[in-house]
Amino acid sequence: MPKSKSKNTVSLSGRYGNGLLIGAAAAVLIVLVAVLGTLTDIPLWILGAAALALLLAASVLIFRYADRRGPHGADGQTLSPLLGNIMVETVMHQSAPAFICDIEQERVIWYNRALSDVSPLHTQLYGHPVSDFLSRTLASILSENEGEGAAVRIGESSFRCQPYRFSVKEREFCLLSMTDVTETERLYVQLAQSEAVVAYILIDNLDDMLQYEQEKFRPVAVQIESVLRDWAAQTDGILKEYERDRYLFVFEARHLDDCIVRKFDVLDRIRDIRVGDGKLPVTVSIGVAGIRGDFDEKERAAATALDMALQRGGDQVVVKGENGIEFYGGRSKTVQKRTKVRARVIANELIMHISRASNVIVMGHRYADFDAFGASVGIARLAMFCGAKVNIVTDLQDPNLAGCRALLAGVPDYADVLVDTRESLELVDANSLLVIVDVNNPAIFENPELAENVDNVVLIDHHRKTAEFAREPLISYIEPSASACCELVAEMLEQALPDGMLLPDEANLMLAGILVDTKQFTKNTGTRTFGAALYLRDRGASPAETQNLFRTDLEDFIREAKFHSNVVIYRGVTAIALGDGDGDAGDRVTAAKAADKLLTVAGVQASFALVRIGDVVHISARSSDTINVQVILEKLRGGGHFDAAGAQVEGTTVQGALLLLKSAIDSYLDGTEMPAPDKAAQ
């Protein structure tokens, strides 16, 4: 057997070496005997006998030590030259590139022929830093040494690099062996590009535009379908109308990147379609599932994306990918499409959840305004009607809500309803119901920790949806077409509460919420807005009493004047006002008022007011229906409405936030993209 032959060869080699050692010892002893015989008077036979005894003793020791070492020698050193030569020849001639480098200096001290064949350097690699021919440093490779090794590139080729560390005489070295994965990665990319993408398409407002011109429906529908089919032909996709004004679109992922680069210009092509002499464009909403998985998962993701596009106001594309959600479009104003039927359905469903809950907690957004506070009061009244224990979480020290709290102080039902943020967590039990109003971004909840600890959550808001929720709410009633959250709540109360249940003071607070978000019925109003105001007026709301909540004291008036004295016009159509130094909580409202006033300046289409409070720069934005400030501030992780929005930028100065804002304005006006800052929140 080959294995036995190898053992015999090693054994004979070891014995041959032992014999040489004994012969050498005998020769040395003979020389010593001859020298001693000439220099001394000792008889030669005595010297010879002594030398023979020493030789026998040495022979016994040599053979005993050899037997203890075994056929491979002590620590395998007998075969080390042979094994070393075999390993060097193997690594030198293998097809995979390999090299050895000094860990401290990251310089090559040895490499094989395979590495020299793929190296972009046309000189010897000895002494060169690793980064001269690899796409990264040795330190980064060693830090990523897990599983299949680190990914590196040599020229146009991709490799997986596996490092092996060793030390010689207290110096650290590393042997790196690389596997070529270029073809594998190419096939992986090809497979990913051929992945099916599922999209849902919905025509937003065709029915509303044609309700008085039915004879024009078919020609306009044909134009829209023609644009969609041209888009499908460009992507080699399949477009099917599965219901009136609703389409299913399937195409390969390779075309999704092209659509993103062109920012889904199909939205612009459809927006160019006009009905008769009307100025309102036709718009579509598209939900795209750019995820991996089976068709069932993709279909559900596309439906979720379309729902988010509609909750953000329509006229946009929402792409749900592996790394998150991206938005494109959304430059048109929202069209009101909700009905009182839906308000009644939502109200009945909310009453059902309230009746099952042990207690109800109502919460708005941080730095609450009249709309958030008024909507909270409306939900609290609905909970009282159901007989549930209810609390409203609010900042009891906020000076901007002092008038609202004073108005409720004389109402016995609210004696212990208002609680501070710190006390809110003590109200939670397993069956608590949390109703969140006027906000859908968890980052700016009045108490984000409270939302994390309550399982049963209801969301009612009129701002465009900015992200998915970690836990799906029981009810998600998001209507960007509504002027205010108080408008939505008023419609629900109209369908659910008996006459006389809503108190005049509660109606006043809710009317104040509508007034503040509509700028006294001058912005973002519709028939439903006036319908909600009429209901509140019928329940005892007094416009004269409500106006008392909007009165400004002299100190706030002077604060607002400081904003007006530090204004710059940017890009000819936007006005930006900067606060004077560090402000306090009252400056948030003052900044919003300053942004409103700036819109009265001739030529200004959008206004922004910035003020620093603590470590946060607050931005209030307003628009005159020509520039979508919500899209601009989304780039700073803010949000709001087409003509009124806000953002909070943390960890920077007013000048730093101003640079970010100008970049976002440039991105919007020039139609380009900008990366979102690392530390920003709505």
For 102-123, write each residue's pLDDT tens digit.
Answer: 888 888 888 888 887 887 766 6
The model's confidence at residue 216, banded by pLDDT at 50, 70 and 90, is low
Burial class of residue 606 (count of CB atoms within 10 Å of its CB; 0-12, 13-18, 19+): buried
Question: Where does 119-175 have alpha helices with state H?
Answer: 138-143
Which one has a higher pLDDT value, 6 or 595? 595
Phi-psi label, residue 127: left if phi above 0, alpha if psi -120 to 50, beta otherwise: left
| CATH fold group of domain 202-329 | Alpha-Beta Plaits (3.30.70)
The Cα–Cα gap between 649 and 663 comes to 14
pLDDT given at position 35: 54
Q: Which of 221, 218, 171 is nearest to 201 (CA)?
A: 221
The Cα–Cα gap between 7 and 48 comes to 39
The Cα–Cα gap between 247 and 87 comes to 64
What element of type H or E holds 524?
none
pTM metric for this prediction? 0.57
CB 463 within 8 A of CB 480: yes
Token pair recorded at residue 53: 């005894």
Instruction: Of 6-20, 91-105, 135-149, 305-319, give the lowest mean pLDDT range.
Output: 6-20
Token pair recorded at residue 406: 């004073």
Q: At residue 503, does pLDDT exceed 90?
A: yes
Instruction: Of 230-234, 267-271, 450-454, 488-492, give the lowest mean pLDDT range.
Output: 267-271
Token pair recorded at residue 375: 């909507």
Q: At residue 598, does pLDDT exceed 90?
A: no
Spatial CB neighbours of 196, under 8 Å, sequence gap ≥ 6: 250, 251, 252, 253, 295, 298
**Right CATH number for 88-185 from 3.40.1180.10, 3.30.450.20, 1.10.3720.10, 3.20.20.80?**
3.30.450.20
What element of type H or E holds 11?
helix 2-39
Q: Which of 386, 384, 362 is nearest to 375 (CA)?
A: 362
Beta strand segments in 501-635, E: 567-570, 574-582, 606-613, 616-623
pLDDT given at position 79: 43
Question: Where does 337-441 have alpha helices with state H?
Answer: 340-356, 370-385, 402-409, 421-424
CB 663 within 8 A of CB 674: yes
3-class secondary structure per residue, 244-295 = CCEEEEEEECHHHHHHHHCCCCHHHHHHCCECCCCCCECCEEEEEEECCCCH
Q: Where are the domains of the chain?
A: 2-78, 88-185, 202-329, 343-550, 554-681
pLDDT given at position 562: 76
Q: At residue 432, does pLDDT exceed 90?
A: yes
Q: At residue 34, does pLDDT exceed 90?
A: no
Bridge pairing between strands 616-623 and 171-180? unpaired
The model's confidence at residue 95, banded by pLDDT at 50, 70 and 90, is confident
The Cα–Cα gap between 59 and 25 comes to 9
The model's confidence at residue 37, banded by pLDDT at 50, 70 and 90, is low
Q: What is the DSSP string of 547-576?
A: HGGG---HHHHHHHHHHHTSEEEETTTEEE
Q: What is the DSSP string of 55-122?
A: HHHHHHHHHHHHHHH-TT-GGGTTSHHHHHHHHHHHHHH-SS-EEEEETTTTEEEEE-HHHHHH-S-S
Q: Tell whether domain 554-681 is in CATH 3.90.78.10.
A: no
Mean pLDDT of 314-319: 86
Token pair recorded at residue 141: 């490779």
Q: Tell whether domain 343-550 is in CATH 3.90.79.10.
A: no
pLDDT given at position 565: 78
What element of type H or E holds 475?
strand 475-478
The Cα–Cα gap between 169 and 107 comes to 18
pLDDT digits (tens, 9 = 90+) for 337-363: 556 777 888 899 999 999 999 999 999
